[in-house]
Structure 1
Amino acid sequence: MIFADLIVVAVSPDGVLVLGTWNVRGYPEKTAERAEWLSNTLLSMGLDIVCIQEIGNQADSDAFLDKEKGFDIAAFENSSDKMDNAIFFAGGIQILDVPDPHGFQHPAQAAYFRYRGFDAMLITVHLSWSDRARREKERELLPEIVQRALQVDPDVIIAGDFNTTERSGDEISSLADSLGLQVLVADNTSIGTTYSGASYDFILVSPDLVEEETIGSSHIVEPSEEALNLAKSVSDHRPVIAQFRTDEKYADCKGWPPRALLSFSWDTTATAAADEPACVSCLAALNAASYGAFKAVDGIGDVLAQRLVDGQPYASTSALDDIRGIGPVKMEAILDALCSGQP
């Protein structure tokens, strides 16, 4: 289902998008007190997108949208597992609920979204806890899933409950390395993402996101001392949140919906047709730009164009600021010219 051109109040007045993940251990809550605490906690985090693990069924997903303020759209597919994953979006975000990756005990959920200049493939997972062999097989599925997602957009996020341990080879860092992603390590990681002190819940992002949109580290949300027992009765997991920039210059795709997703499949052999290229990152466009492309930008002459070519490859778009003669105005003009023409 495609949700395009939503006319709703903008997500965040400061242009920052807040994404979170939380294993709520079932929804809705059975008592009014617990339900009120969960709703207030969700609201206090200022979330624009939240990945929720352990949604029981379609009725529970619908109840979340009815009850929880600020969320207007869900990417959700009901299954017989009764511990499904869901992604809930605030109004103003365009989403394409793409087919979901298969092979997981608790079915994964995927969606492509856009808000201003922030567009990305988002996947939420809840890897098996009780069946270690099953969890290993699920981990083996992830590299192919990530590679297929990267064929669509260089911005990829996988968030959820990974049930990783501290055993050698089973750490979240090892998993992220195998996927070519980076862990957004929490600024208060020592408390753990569960009340037992273990860390199972993470947000993993692709290198392009780290270079451009990611703001700082992630953060584990801790309840007040007074609400600690109530929080534990709601879930044994703490929520994890991260912030992202949404400047238009970071957009990797132009047009909606992206052509690369009109006939999307998780099969890695099902790449986009030659006349329907996938999204190209702003950084990739900058590093591929020719002398002529730079010179065509308003305000860039022969000398600056040559300096820009000599500066390639750039580690990030912000590295343009290191080129003599390139100030904020010219930098914005270059990025607008090179990135706005990407499909």
Structure 2
Amino acid sequence: MGEGSLRVAMRDHPQGMVTEGDFLIEKTARPTPGPGQALVRVRHLSLDPYMRPMMNPVRSYVEPLKPGQTMPGATVGEVVESNEDALPVGTHVACMLGWQEYGLVTKESARTVDLGAADLSLALHVLGMTGATAHYGLLHLGEPKPGETVVVTAASGAVGSVVGQLAKIKGCRVIGVAGGPEKCRYVKEELGFDECLDHRADDFEQRFAELTTDWVDILFENVGGRILDAILPRMNDHGRVVLCGNISDYNRDEPYGIKGISHLLLHRVNVYSFVIADHRDYWPRAIGELAGWVKEGRIRFREDVAKGGLEDAPAAFISMLTGRNFGKQLVKVAPDSAGD
């Protein structure tokens, strides 16, 4: 192994739609672990929509990125040097090292992952942050009841795909919303949703109204914008909206907003907004239950992996933000074995 570590930083705050020119790819010195630290070689990087708002210099639930800072992100990797007995060499860990090949962790900042190298990436989605997001948002906040109608936007994505399958496990009728016929077929035929509508279709609103004559009890919202406004008039009295994401606004200079906000009042709809990082104590319960359902084949998943290393991360990130990816977006940063 060489002595350098590739990283991707934000070159400057994007104006509107992010471009590859907004990123800086450079070689830095590989860090050396100090007392109580371990050096991790990153295997997989997770790309998630929340990263885009962090690139804007605005007040948020986390400090915005400054030009020159390494792009943030969840990672999984292998300990290759260690000064921490709890993290011996060869240990697989999940941690927040961002868009870089190597990084330092402590036993407090890394979660040991009991998965083989072939399954290590699962700790970044269905058995990690996105799985915990789906579990907490739907089951804890939404509290679905058998027979209720649940609508999930971005239904083929990492969070939405799990939400819909959880709703089916709980005995609900599930309608997905996705972009394009191929994604809709996957959501309905492979994930088991009752229906899935293409929001790009000309008759989307008409078809949605036909499928929700008994109204919508729970909306798990990942997209926002015009799709949200098409769904709000169909909400049931005392329905629940779980606001998880707003990806349609992330690359807009001016936010779209919620034009149908009056429906929330008319139908006394409860709206729950959350960020799963605020609920770390909930993760073990969620991941434990999800692992059981994955093993039983009751929850399926799909990965979209950019395999060209960190150099591919900016293009893969833009692909995800524009809906061109299919499944959980990952970057394969390094081979599965530290000796490769």
TM-score (norm 1): 0.27
TM-score by length of 2: 0.27
